[in-house]
Amino acid sequence: MKKDRSLLNALHDEGYRLTPQRMMVVEAIEESHDHISAEEIHTKARTKYPYLNISTVYRTLELLKEKGLVAETDLGGGRFLYHPVGKAQHHHLVCRKCGKVRDIEINLLDKLKDELKDKYDFDAELEHIAIFGSCKDCGSQS
Ligand SMILES: [Zn+2]
Ligand SMILES: [Zn+2]
């Protein structure tokens, strides 16, 4: 899949109807420069479409995920963040204590990926993952 295609075009090409609700959700994701949660998408989209239901947001996110158009990051504790796959060129450090999220370079895990392939013949999908721990402010666990 080409990454520079807009999410809406991609959905449309797949034969999905571009309902106003879907368009609002997709726009909110594309306009956010950072990661966005379902709640934030809902809040944002409702400024233009007041009757938008949060379950529509979840359903649309499911669809986009299924189609490989958005990346989902599980930050633990039921928190999920989203962004278009084209923007997923990083991983995350998530502090368990304060919940702070930091982006790290994608190639930091290349070595791990190679080793998993060499030693276990396993193709790891290390595209956009969250690594949990404690940040500097919260002190190390050890
Ligand atoms: Zn991310
Ligand atoms: Zn912290």
Residue at 79 is within a domain:
no
Measured CA to CA, the distance from residue 63 to residue 133 in angstroms comes to 31
pLDDT tens digits, one per residue of 33-48? 778 999 999 999 999 8
Starting from the CA of residue 70, give the closest ligand: 1
105 and 53, same domain (yes or no): no
End-to-end CA distance of the chain: 43
CA of 93 to the centre of ligand 1 (A): 10
CA of 139 to the centre of ligand 2 (A): 8
Residue at 59 is within a domain:
yes
More confident residue, 139 or 80: 80
CA of 15 to the centre of ligand 1 (A): 27
12 and 65, same domain (yes or no): yes
Number of folded domains that form the chain: 2
Q: Report the DSSP beta bridge partners of residue 82.
A: 36, 72
pLDDT bracket for residue 132 (50, 70, 90): very high
CATH of the domain at 13: 1.10.10.10
pLDDT bracket for residue 140 (50, 70, 90): low
Starting from the CA of residue 132, give the closest ligand: 2
CATH of the domain at 123: 3.30.1490.190
CA of 54 to the centre of ligand 1 (A): 22
51 and 104, same domain (yes or no): no
CA of 35 to the centre of ligand 2 (A): 18
Q: Which of 108, 100, 10 has the alpha carbon at shortest distance from 63?
A: 10
* CB-based burial, 6-29: b 16+ in 10 Å, e otherwise: ebbebbeeeeeeeeebbbbbbbbb
The answer to whether the CB of 67 falls within 8 A of the CB of 14 is yes
Residue at 13 is within a domain:
yes
What pLDDT is stored for residue 1 in this prediction?
41
Range of the domain at 116: 90-138
Residue at 84 is within a domain:
no
What pLDDT is stored for residue 139 in this prediction?
82
Starting from the CA of residue 131, give the closest ligand: 1
pLDDT tens digits, one per residue of 75-104? 877 889 898 877 767 888 999 899 888 889
Residue 2 scores a pLDDT above 50: no
28 and 59, same domain (yes or no): yes
Of the candidates 41, 70, 99, which is a domain's last residue? 70
What pLDDT is stored for residue 89 in this prediction?
79
Residue 3 scores a pLDDT above 50: no
What pLDDT is stored for residue 41 in this prediction?
94
